[in-house]
């Protein structure tokens, strides 16, 4: 097998596992959204979504960009100085605990100042989940270290199976027993504690396997601490801004339009996250490989890996977005009748995400090239555009404006990263291959959806028929366009398993 085919086979092996985990995570996220929306209504769901949104934004800062630092640094240390892996991990873990504790205290104290009066329930929910910020920050750093050292299976089991799998049953029990949005928010945060305990054990085993005997003890040396901090500081900013881009619109909608509007908008946006999880699944596999290939100067293999991952992202993630956008009223009806009014929001978000996928894992490529500073600049620009656009348009046009602003921001973010990767790193992504995959998907899935809509309308039966028909067509397409879709590596993995 050639180096290029071997790279695709490696991507297929790790990507298939990560994709399965992401599919399970998406299913659990969907169940959680349904449970919260059905039991608490749009207002209660809005409270929970705002609290979890604030938690996610603060946690992104609390981990200090050390998750990306681990993915960038550890594959290189594994090549150059394996004995320095353990000291570097101890130093990163200490930073995450300290930062998480301090920021958790800040959030707990500041929540009543930001939400008061009628928003007192939001403040209580935010203060409740803030207690778990240190555990969550350390868990994310530990899981990233696992995947950086080749533990993709352990990463998927913790991040994509255990954590999301616990939340729907816990939320259901909390909602039925208490009917309190605050208690439901608490049930959402509790799994972070279990995740941390499991990660510590798994990471210790992984390090003992990877690092030869006689490795260095104690914390990282001064030069290693500087290396870690120099990468992590700008990444802290970009990671915080990245999470802000995911959640700030939900929080702003809650501030301006109330918890009910936040619940409807947040419910619609959570469906789109299912498609984005495919992006995250591939990023789990490709990010360490990007770091290794950039470090060793294998530019052609790097370009081929990025192109393959992009084509797979478009082909495997976009079909779900097409179905969701086509049957948005039916999908949102699952959350409750009051959520159906948000169907234009879901349609716009799906369209924006589908176009953004054409850039592939370009953000990971920029980060693994050591350009975390440029990534931070990009996020700052896009967040400014997001906040300004929402504050200007949301009071007049409602949650529809928030959806349009989000879609535009994602496109601008991807375009900035594409230009920087090409100019700074000298890597020229092949957009033609991704456009071809998008065209195939739009025909293979769009036509069955259009026919089903014409015959059966916006009904559950129409959604089921369209989904099954699209699945059959996609299976045929995978066979006919196997080479164009770069599925050679995936086919090789299946042959080996048989």
Q: Quote the CA–CA distance of 352 and 347 in Å, as a whole number.
A: 9
pLDDT tens digits for 384-412?
A: 888 898 888 888 888 888 889 988 988 89
Name the pTM for this structure.
0.67
How many Cβ atoms from other residues are within 10 Å of residue 455's Cβ? 11
- Within 13 Å, how many C-alpha atoms sit on residue 201's CB side? 5
| Phi, psi (degrees; rounded to nearest 5) at 214 | 80, 25
Element (H, E) at 115: none
Task: Check: CB of residue 340 under 8 Å from CB of residue 466.
Answer: no
pLDDT tens digits for 41-75?
A: 878 888 888 888 888 888 888 888 888 788 777 77
Token pair 């419910």 is found at 267
For residues 488 and 192, the model is more confident at 192
Element (H, E) at 235: helix 222-257
Measured in residues, the chain has a length of: 498
pLDDT tens digits for 242-278?
A: 777 777 777 788 778 777 787 888 878 878 876 677 7
pLDDT tens digits for 276-307?
A: 777 766 766 677 677 777 777 777 777 777 78
Burial of residue 218, with CB atoms counted within 10 A of its CB: 0-12 exposed, 13-18 middle, 19 or more buried: exposed
Residue 219 — very low, low, confident or very high, per pLDDT cuts 50/70/90? low
Q: Quote the CA–CA distance of 398 and 390 in Å, as a whole number.
A: 9
Q: Where are the domains of the chain?
A: 3-497
For residues 78 and 175, the model is more confident at 175
Instruction: Calculate the alpha carbon distances from 65 to 228, 237, 288, 364, 439 in Å.
Output: 10, 8, 15, 13, 36
pLDDT at residue number 89: 81
Instruction: Calculate the alpha carbon distances from 391 to 74, 109, 385, 388, 437 in Å.
Output: 41, 26, 10, 5, 36
254 closest CA partner among 98, 83, 125, 70: 125
> Which tokens sit at 234?
């700008």
Residue 447 — very low, low, confident or very high, per pLDDT cuts 50/70/90? very high
> Does 2 have pLDDT greater than 60?
no
pLDDT at residue number 65: 80
Helix, coil or strand: residue 377: helix
Q: Is the dihedral of CA 40, 46, 48, 49 positive or negative?
A: positive
pLDDT at residue number 183: 92
Lowest-confidence segment of 25-34, 81-90, 341-350 by average pLDDT:
81-90
pLDDT tens digits for 306-363?
A: 788 888 888 888 898 899 989 999 988 888 787 888 889 999 999 988 888 888 777 7
pLDDT at residue number 96: 87
Ramachandran sector of residue 13 (left: φ over 0; alpha: ψ -120 to 50; beta: rest): alpha
Residue 497 — very low, low, confident or very high, per pLDDT cuts 50/70/90? very low
Q: Quote the CA–CA distance of 328 and 337 in Å, as a whole number.
A: 13
Residue 186 — very low, low, confident or very high, per pLDDT cuts 50/70/90? very high
pLDDT at residue number 493: 39
Residue 18 — very low, low, confident or very high, per pLDDT cuts 50/70/90? low
* Average pLDDT taken over every residue of the chain: 80
Ramachandran sector of residue 486 (left: φ over 0; alpha: ψ -120 to 50; beta: rest): left
pLDDT at residue number 150: 73
Q: Quote the CA–CA distance of 325 and 400 in Å, as a whole number.
A: 14
* 3-class secondary structure per residue, 257-276: HCHHHHHHHHHHHHHHHHHH
Q: Quote the CA–CA distance of 58 and 63 in Å, as a whole number.
A: 9
pLDDT at residue number 1: 46
């Amino acid at each position: 097998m050639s180096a290029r085919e071997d790279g695709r086979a490696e991507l297929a092996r790790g990507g298939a596992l990560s994709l399965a985990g992401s599919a399970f995570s998406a299913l659990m996220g969907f169940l959680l959204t349904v449970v919260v929306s059905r039991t608490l209504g749009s207002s209660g769901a809005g409270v929970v979504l705002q609290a979890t949104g604030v938690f996610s934004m603060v946690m992104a800062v609390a981990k200090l960009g050390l998750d990306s630092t681990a993915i960038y640094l550890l594959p290189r240390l594994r090549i150059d100085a394996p004995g320095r892996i353990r000291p570097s991990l101890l130093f990163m873990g200490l930073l995450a605990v300290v930062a998480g504790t301090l920021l958790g205290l800040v959030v707990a104290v500041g929540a009543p100042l930001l939400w008061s009066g009628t928003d007192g329930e939001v403040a209580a929910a935010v203060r409740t989940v803030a207690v778990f910020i240190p555990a969550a920050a350390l868990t994310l750093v530990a899981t990233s270290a696992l995947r950086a050292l080749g533990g993709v299976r352990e990463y998927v089991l913790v991040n994509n199976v255990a954590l999301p799998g616990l939340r729907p049953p816990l939320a259901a029990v909390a909602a039925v027993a208490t009917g309190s949005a605050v208690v439901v928010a608490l049930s959402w945060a509790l799994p972070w504690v279990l995740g941390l305990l499991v990660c510590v054990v798994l990471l210790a085993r992984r390090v003992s396997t990877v690092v030869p005997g006689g490795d260095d003890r104690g914390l990282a040396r001064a030069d290693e601490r500087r290396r870690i901090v120099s990468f992590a500081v700008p990444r802290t900013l970009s990671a915080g801004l990245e999470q802000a881009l995911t959640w700030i619109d939900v929080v702003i909608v809650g501030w301006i339009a109330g918890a009910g509007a936040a619940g409807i908008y947040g419910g619609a946006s959570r469906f789109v996250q299912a498609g984005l999880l495919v992006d995250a699944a591939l990023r789990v596999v490709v990010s360490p490989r990007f770091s290794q290939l950039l470090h060793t100067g294998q530019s052609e293999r790097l370009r081929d890996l990025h192109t393959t991952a992009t084509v797979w992202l478009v082909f495997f993630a976009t079909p779900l977005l097409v179905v969701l956008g086509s049957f948005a009223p039916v999908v949102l009806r699952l959350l409750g009748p009051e959520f159906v009014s948000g169907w234009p929001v879901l349609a716009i978000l799906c369209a924006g995400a589908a176009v953004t996928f054409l850039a592939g894992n370009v953000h990971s490529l920029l980060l693994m090239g050591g350009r975390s500073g440029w990534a931070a600049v990009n996020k700052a620009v896009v967040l400014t555009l997001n906040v300004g656009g929402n504050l200007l348009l949301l009071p007049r046009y409602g949650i529809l404006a928030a959806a349009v602003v989000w879609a535009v921001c994602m496109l601008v973010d991807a375009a900035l990263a594409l230009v920087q990767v090409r100019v700074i790193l000298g890597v020229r992504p092949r957009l033609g291959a991704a456009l071809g995959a998008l065209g195939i998907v739009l025909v293979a899935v769009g036509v069955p959806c259009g026919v089903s809509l014409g015959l059966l309308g916006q009904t559950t039966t129409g959604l089921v028929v369209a989904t099954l028909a699209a699945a059959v067509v996609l299976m045929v397409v995978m066979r006919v366009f196997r080479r164009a879709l770069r599925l050679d590596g995936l086919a090789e993995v299946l042959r080996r398993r048989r």
